[in-house]
Structure 1
Amino acid sequence: MHSHLHTPYNVNCEEIMTALDECHAKGFLWKAVGNCNDIKREVNKCLSAERYDRAKRNREEARSNRRRIEDIWAKERAIDQPSTAAPENAGASKQ
Structure 2
Amino acid sequence: MNLATRTLLASLALAAPAAAQSTDPTAGRRLAASLCVECHGIDDKTPAKDTASKAPSFVDVARMPSTTELALKVFLRSSHRQMPNLILTPDEIDSLAAYIVGLAPKK
Larger radius of gyration: 1
Structure with bigger helix share is 1
**TM-score, structure 1 normalization:** 0.31
